[in-house]
């Protein structure tokens, strides 16, 4: 199996790039944000709980998120996973290692998209006009998501840097150009 994490602040383009990576490398996509939104739509118990955090731009508690990811990994036959929006805290990162170890596999590469904060705010407010996402329509909520990212998620990159798995990728420019940079990092790992 070849498993990767796509990492980056809200609006960095993780979803867009994931779709292209899945196509090219035949990976199975797990976007925790998408799974939460599907649960909100389906009005499940998990959805009601997740919504109370997401609408404020806060992270959903680790225990809930980790259980959901373990369930997903267990129930999908995959050549490899692309984790998008997970892990977002150090304890989620440690839990993911444990989950993958149980399945005899591991994270191979971490791609960290880097984009200026002002550009991110612009992208998210633009996306909010058509996505209907509450968390994309209000600059205070967007700023809170950045704060969550900077406080809880950014430090996780050091965890992957220590394992020599992190690749910082410049996330500004044309979509195809950024995709090329990501593929380069993946192919270097695949061929090593």
DSSP state of 61: P
Q: Which range, of 29-37, 40-48, 100-108, 158-166, touches ligand ADP by CB under 6 A?
A: 29-37
Question: Max Cα separation, the chain?
Answer: 45
Closest CA to 3 of 191, 168, 177, 165: 165
Q: How far apart are CA 127 and CA 103, in angstroms?
A: 37
Q: How far apart are CA 35 and CA 7, in angstroms?
A: 17
Q: List the x/- string, 76-105, binding to ligand ADP by CB under 6 A.
A: ---------xx-x---x-------------
Token digits for 156?
């996780």
Closest CA to 186 of 103, 80, 51, 76: 80
Residue 10 within binding range of ligand ADP, rule CB under 6 A: yes
* 133 annotated active-site: yes
CB of 177 to ligand ADP, least distance (A): 21
Q: How far is CA 187 from CA 8, 30, 90, 91, 190, in A?
A: 20, 21, 27, 28, 5
Among 81, 96, 145, 169, indicate the residue that binds ligand ADP (CB under 6 A).
145
Q: List the x/- string, 37-76, binding to ligand ADP by CB under 6 A.
A: ----------------xx--xxxx----x-----------
Residue 128 within binding range of ligand ADP, rule CB under 6 A: no
Token digits for 162?
């220590």
Is the Cβ–Cβ distance between 80 and 28 less than 8 Å?
A: yes
- CB closer to ligand ADP out of 83 and 179: 83
| Annotated catalytic residue within 37, 123, 133, 168 | 133
Residue 13 within binding range of ligand ADP, rule CB under 6 A: no
| Binding interface with ligand ADP (CB under 6 A) | 10-11, 32-33, 36, 53-54, 57-60, 65, 85-86, 88, 92, 135, 145
Residues with catalytic roles: 14, 88, 127, 133, 145
């Amino acid at each position: 199996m070849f498993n990767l994490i796509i990492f980056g602040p809200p609006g960095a383009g993780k979803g867009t790039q994931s779709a292209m990576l899945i196509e090219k490398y035949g990976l199975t996509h797990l976007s925790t944000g998408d799974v939460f939104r599907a649960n909100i739509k389906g009005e499940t118990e998990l959805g009601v709980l997740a919504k109370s955090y997401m609408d404020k731009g806060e992270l959903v508690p680790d225990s809930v998120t980790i259980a959901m990811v373990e369930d997903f990994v267990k129930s999908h036959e995959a050549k490899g996973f692309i984790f998008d929006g997970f892990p977002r805290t150090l304890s989620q990162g440690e839990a993911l290692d444990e989950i993958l170890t149980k399945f005899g596999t591991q994270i191979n590469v971490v791609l960290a998209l880097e984009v200026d904060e002002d550009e991110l705010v612009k992208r998210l407010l633009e996306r909010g006009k058509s996505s209907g996402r509450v968390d994309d329509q209000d600059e205070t909520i967007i700023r809170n998501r950045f704060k969550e990212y900077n406080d809880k998620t950014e430090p996780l990159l050091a965890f992957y840097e220590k394992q020599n798995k992190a690749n910082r990728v410049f996330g500004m420019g044309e979509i195809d150009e950024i995709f090329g940079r990501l593929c380069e990092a993946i192919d270097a790992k695949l061929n090593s």
